[in-house]
C-alpha cells in the first residue's frame, strides 16, 4: 500500500516537472514574441501575427497555470490520502501489537492451565494407585479375617467338645463313686 502511494507521489512529481517546463517554455516564447514585436516589426501584418502569437502564448500560459493549480490540488489531495493511509497503518499496527500481546497472554494462561491439569492428573493417578493398593490390602486383610473367623469357629467347636468331655467327667465320677476302677472316656 505504501509502495502505491510512492508511485503516485513520483507520478505527481513528474507531472509538476512537466508543468514547470511547459510554463517556462511559454514564458520564453512570450518573451521572444514581445522582443520580436518590438525590434523587428515594421509592417502591420507582422505586428498582427506577433500579437496573435503573444495572445496565444498568454492563453497557453493561462492554461498551464490552471493545469498547475489543478495538479497542485490533486497533489494536496493525494498527500491527505497518504497521511490518512499512514494513520490507518499506524492504528492497525497498534491493534496488531495489542492483539499479539493478548494472544501471548492467552497462550501463557493456556500453558499454565495445561500445567495445572497435568499436575492434577498426575495427583489423581497417584491417588488412584494408592486407593488400589489400599483396596488390595483390605482384600488381603478380609481374607485373613475370614481365615481367623474359621479358625475361631473351629477353636470354639473344640472348646465345646472339651467342655462336654469335662462335664461328662464331672458327672461320671459322681455317678461312679461306687466304682472307682471305671474307665474314663478318651479325649478327642
Could you read off the pLDDT of 105-126 as tens digits, one per residue?
999 999 999 999 999 999 999 9
User: What confidence tens digit (pLDDT) does each residue in 132-166 have?
Assistant: 999 999 999 999 999 999 999 999 999 999 999 98
Task: Tell me how crowded residue 50 is: count the other CB atoms within 10 A of its CB.
Answer: 19
pLDDT at 127 over 50: yes
Per-residue pLDDT band for 5 (boundaries 50, 70, 90) equals low
Q: How far apart are CA 178 and CA 168, in angstroms?
A: 16
Q: How far apart are CA 78 and CA 12, in angstroms?
A: 9
Q: Which pTM does this prediction carry?
A: 0.41
85 CB contacts (<8 Å, ≥6 apart)?
Answer: 1, 2, 5
pLDDT value, residue 139: 95
Amino acid at each position: 500500500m505504501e509502495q502505491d502511494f510512492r508511485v503516485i507521489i513520483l507520478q505527481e512529481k513528474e507531472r509538476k516537472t512537466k508543468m514547470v517546463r511547459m510554463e517556462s517554455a511559454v514564458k520564453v516564447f512570450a518573451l521572444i514574441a514581445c522582443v520580436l514585436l518590438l525590434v523587428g516589426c515594421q509592417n502591420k501584418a507582422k505586428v498582427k501575427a506577433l500579437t496573435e502569437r503573444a495572445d496565444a502564448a498568454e492563453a497557453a500560459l493561462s492554461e498551464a497555470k490552471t493545469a498547475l493549480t489543478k495538479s497542485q490540488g490533486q497533489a494536496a489531495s493525494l498527500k491527505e490520502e497518504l497521511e490518512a493511509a499512514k494513520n490507518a497503518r499506524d492504528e492497525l499496527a497498534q491493534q496488531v501489537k495489542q492483539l499479539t500481546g493478548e494472544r501471548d497472554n492467552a497462550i501463557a494462561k493456556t500453558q499454565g492451565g495445561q500445567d495445572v491439569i497435568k499436575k492434577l492428573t498426575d495427583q489423581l493417578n497417584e491417588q488412584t494407585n494408592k486407593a488400589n493398593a489400599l483396596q488390595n490390602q483390605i482384600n488381603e486383610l478380609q481374607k485373613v479375617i475370614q481365615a481367623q473367623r474359621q479358625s475361631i469357629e473351629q477353636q470354639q467347636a473344640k472348646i465345646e467338645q472339651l467342655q462336654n468331655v469335662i462335664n461328662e467327667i464331672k458327672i461320671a465320677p459322681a455317678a461312679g463313686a461306687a466304682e472307682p476302677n471305671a474307665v474314663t472316656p478318651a479325649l478327642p
